[in-house]
Amino acid sequence: RKEVEQDPGPFNVPEGATVAFNCTYSNSASQSFFWYRQDCRKEPKLLMSVYSSGNEDGRFTAQLNRASQYISLLIRDSKLSDSATYLCVVARTGNQFYFGTGTSLTVIP
Amino acid sequence: DAGITQSPRHKVTETGTPVTLRCHQTENHRYMYWYRQDPGHGLRLIHYSYGVKDTDKGEVSDGYSVSRSKTEDFLLTLESATSSQTSVYFCAISDGTGPNQPQHFGDGTRLSIL
């Protein structure tokens, strides 16, 4: 079983829409959780960390459910510039990071 | 942006030749990683380092070796490149000072083995 699983999409949504991505992880010992954004032919960039209480950064909201072992990312009021691949990342003790294969988002004018 | 420089950015070489990729950081972070990214597989860990001269294997380490002789540099070597090693290679760093410390990535190296 993969450490981290994501729906690959693609998600095609109109500008202004709200879109949500989910990610599940298999190891209950996982300690830290992140969402990264990766543009085509570029490096992954940290979008936000995910905290147990949930956290928000502008139009982006991340949630963590440890009991069900899933992480979510909600994007409100989608912009064309949000088009990218979103990677779910889980970390464990010893700075071991595990990546999902990514969810592709295209925001359509 | 995190101070991570990968070199070269692009390389084309022939099967059987040795190739060395360099990752240089200016953040004094303890942990450094090498990943490859291929369509359908996402990011896969090749090797990582948790300090000078301290390295360990990742998920796809066969055919690769690494060295870290100083904090700021982490080298990835393909001793005898094969076409299956054509990929995009990313270096990442993390400071390892506690939980919730993310990784930061270099710009990547596009390597083609003909």
Cβ neighbours of A46 in B, within 8 Å: 102-104
Tell whether B15 is within 8 A of chain A (Cβ): no
pLDDT at residue A52, rounded to an integer: 87
**Mean of pLDDT values over B2-29:** 95
At B97, is the pLDDT very low, low, confident or very high (cuts 50, 70, 90)? confident
Closest Cα to residue A31, out of A61, A73, A62, A69?
A69
At B1, is the pLDDT very low, low, confident or very high (cuts 50, 70, 90)? low
pLDDT at residue A87, rounded to an integer: 96
- What is the sign of the dihedral through the CA atoms of A82, B35, A95 and A21? positive
Q: In whole angstroms, what is the distance from residue A45 CA to residue B106 CA?
A: 9
What are the pLDDT digits (tens) for B29-88?
A: 999 999 999 988 889 999 999 999 999 999 999 999 999 999 999 999 999 999 999 999
pLDDT at residue B2, rounded to an integer: 66
Is the pLDDT score of B96 beyond 80?
A: no
- B65, B52 Cβ separation under 8 angstroms: no
Tell whether A97 is within 8 A of chain B (Cβ): yes
Q: In whole angstroms, what is the distance from residue A84 CA to residue A107 CA?
A: 9
How far off is chain B from A80, nearest CA to CA, in Å?
A: 23
Interface contact B102-A49, CB threshold 8 A: yes
The residue among A108 and A51 whose pLDDT is bigger is A108
CB-based contacts of A2: which residues, under 8 Å, 6+ apart? A26
Q: In whole angstroms, what is the distance from residue B28 CA to residue B31 CA?
A: 9
Tell whether A32 is within 8 A of chain B (Cβ): yes
pLDDT at residue B10, rounded to an integer: 97
Q: How many contacts (CB atoms, under 8 Å) link A and B?
A: 48
pLDDT at residue B40, rounded to an integer: 80
Is the pLDDT score of B95 beyond 90?
A: no
What are the pLDDT digits (tens) for A81-102?
A: 999 999 999 998 878 899 999 9
Tell whether B40 is within 8 A of chain A (Cβ): yes
Tell whether A45 is within 8 A of chain B (Cβ): yes
